[in-house]
Structure 1
Amino acid sequence: MANVDGTTGVTVRTYREQDRSRLRGVLARSGEGDPAATSVFGEHDPAVWLDRYADGDPGSFFVAEEDGELLGYLTGCLDTSALPSDSECFERLLRTERLFLRPETALFLGRMAFDSIVDRGKETAKEFDDPRWPSHLHIRLVPEARGKGIGSALMRRWQERLREEGSPGCFLQAMSENTEAIAFFERMGFEHHGRPRIISGFRGRNGERLHLQTMVWSP
C-alpha cells in the first residue's frame, strides 16, 4: 500500500476479492466525459474489463482508495497471451450470452460489416502482439478523481511491478481522439508505436469514426 503524493488520504494498493462488486460502479462511471467512450459488451463489461484480470492476474490489479471509497483502478497483465483477448471475449459472449440479440450489438455488427467494405485497403486497428512488449494495462478513474495525481500513482505502481517481475515492456491501446488520455500516457513515459488506425464498427458520441493508438513503454 502506498500513499499518493499530494493527495491526503488516498492510497494505492493491490486488488482484494471484496473489491470486485464495488469496482463495477467505478467502471460504470469511468466513461463520463470521455468523448470517445463506447461499449460493445454492455452489461457484460465487468466480465471483460474487471473479472478476467481479477481471476487471471490479480497481482497486477491495483486500486486507488480514499477513506474506503474506490476512486479508480488499473488492471494489468504481465503476459497478454495468458488471458483471453478482447475478440475472444466478444466471440464467447456472442455465443453464450446471445449478445447479438442486443440492439446495440446488432448495430455494432452491422457497422463492422459496412466498415469492412469502406475501409478496404486502409490500415485498420487490430490486437497487438509483439514479444518486446508482452504486458498490457487498462486504467479507469471516476471523474472527480482526475487531475489529482491518482492515475499517475496507479501507473507508477504498475511500472514498479513490471520492473520487479522482469517484464521487457508493456503496451496499451487508447482512442487517439481521447487527447487527454494520450497526453497522460506520454507523461508516464509511453511512446507512440505506429500511427493511429481506424477502428471498424466504433463511432464517437456524434457518430464520427474513431482511431486506435498503440503506445509502448519499456523499463
Structure 2
Amino acid sequence: MSALRGCTVLHLDNHVLAIAKPAGMPSCPDDTRDPDALTCCKDFLKERFDKPGRVFLGLVHRLDRPASGVMVFARTSKAASRLSESVRERNTKKVYAALVRGCLSEGGNLEDYIRKEQNRVYVTSTRSQGTKLAQLDYKPMFYCERNQLTLLQVHLHTGRKHQIRAQLAQFGHPIVGDTKYGGRHNLWAGASPDDRGIVSQIALHAHRLEIPHPVR
C-alpha cells in the first residue's frame, strides 16, 4: 500500500484501482475545487507509470464527502462498463461502520423511501412520485453506556445519496458529527487532539466493498 495525498492505495492492477478515501475529500470534482479522490488518483497513475497526456479513470460509485473508506475506480472503459453494471444490478456487498446516538441492543433492517431535494434527502415510509426504495441492515457491534453511543455494522442494499445518514437519523439514531441529519457535533469537545482523530467529519466509514473483478 502507498500513501496518496491523504488516500491509501489498497489494490492496483491493469483494470482496477482501489483506495481508502479520507473523510472530508470529495469523490470527484465539485464546486469547491478542493482536492478530490478521482483527480488525485489520476495524478498518481500519471506519475507512477509516467503516462503522457490525460489518464483515463472511471468513477463507478461515490462516497459522501464527510465519510471515509473504500472506493474502487476503473482503469479501462471495459472495466468501467462492467463495474458500473455490477453496481447498477446490486451485485456488490457494501459494509459500513457507523457510530450513532443512543442504545441499540439488537440488529434489524430499515426499508424506506427516499426523496432527493437539492443537496439533502428526505425519508418517508410510503412510496410516492419521485421517491426511491432504500434498504439496509444493521447490527450493533459495541455500546458505550457512558456516552450513549452504539457502533453499528451497516450492510447497504441500495446505494442512494446520503442513504445511511438519512435513514439512521429518521430511525432516531443519527450518526455522530452529522449535523446535516441531526447528529451533534460537540461530542469530542474538550478531548485531546489525538482523541479527536476517532471521529473525523462524520463517524461513517466504508470498511468493506465486495465487487466482481471486471475481467476475472
TM-score by length of 1: 0.23
Structure of greater Rg: 2
The structure with more helix, counted as a fraction of residues? 1
TM-score by length of 2: 0.23
Q: Report which structure shows greater RCO (CA 8 Å, sep ≥6).
A: 1
